[in-house]
Amino acid sequence: MNSVDQAFATQLKNIQAKTGKSLEQLFAQIRESGLARHGEIREMLKRDLHLGHGDANTVARFYLKSMEGKSETSLEEAIREIYSGPKANLHEIHEALMNEIASFGPFEIAPKKGYISLRRKKQFAMIGPITKTRLEVGLNMKGVEATPRLVAMPPGGMCQYKVFVAYADEVDAELIGWIRQAYDSAG
């Protein structure tokens, strides 16, 4: 082991002694937080475990390194991660949307960073939290008149339209109709 590796090993050992948590327990706490970005993880460790900047930075670095090659997670795990922490209350809306969309027929669900992509031959929708109080439903369809609720997006983006949903009762016939139109056009 070279001197740099030895220094990191010593630092990690000292962090475990300070926090009273094993490296696996620290990593589990990070996973449970739902955070995925280095800076967010570092700040959470500083705040929740009172680690100094350097120690929190090292734990975040080693956690993210340990996750390399483990990008294939189950759909349930991905959704749990997307709707963790302050966004957990939006999971109910997500489920209401998915229950309606499931009745359309077959499609593929591809988890992405912070949202899920719904595809047939091509992506027809994306669903994910945009803030801790609203979901964003992105739709790919053409020839639909924009409304105050169905917001047209600039050309060249991932979706032609977006609808923002803050409450489960907003998963209504109008929204499901737009999603169905996008589904049918992705055929």
pLDDT in tens, 121-167: 899 999 999 999 999 999 999 989 999 999 999 988 889 999 999 99
**3-state SS class at 102:** helix
> Taking 70 as the threshold, does the pLDDT of residue 4 lie above it?
no
Q: Report the pLDDT averaged over residues 92-109.
A: 93
Q: Contact at 8 Å (CB) between 125 and 160?
A: no
Q: Contact at 8 Å (CB) between 140 and 186?
A: yes
Indicate the DSSP class of residue 154. Answer: P
Structure token digits, residue 118: 């719904």
Q: Report the pLDDT averaged over residues 56-67.
A: 85
- Look at residue 48 in the predicted model and tell me its pLDDT: 93
> Taking 80 as the threshold, does the pLDDT of residue 176 lie above it?
yes
Structure token digits, residue 181: 């139109």
The whole-chain average pLDDT of the chain stands at 89
> Taking 60 as the threshold, does the pLDDT of residue 93 lie above it?
yes
> Taking 60 as the threshold, does the pLDDT of residue 39 lie above it?
yes
Gap between the Cα atoms of 36 and 84, Å rounded: 11
Gap between the Cα atoms of 90 and 128, Å rounded: 9
- Look at residue 3 in the predicted model and tell me its pLDDT: 65
- Look at residue 98 in the predicted model and tell me its pLDDT: 94
Question: Binning pLDDT at 50, 70 and 90, where does residue 72 land?
Answer: very low
CA 135 to chain centre: 11
What is the chain's Cα-based Rg?
21
> Taking 60 as the threshold, does the pLDDT of residue 69 lie above it?
no
Q: Report the pLDDT averaged over residues 165-170.
A: 96
Question: Binning pLDDT at 50, 70 and 90, where does residue 89 land?
Answer: very high
Bigger pLDDT: 70 vs 121: 121
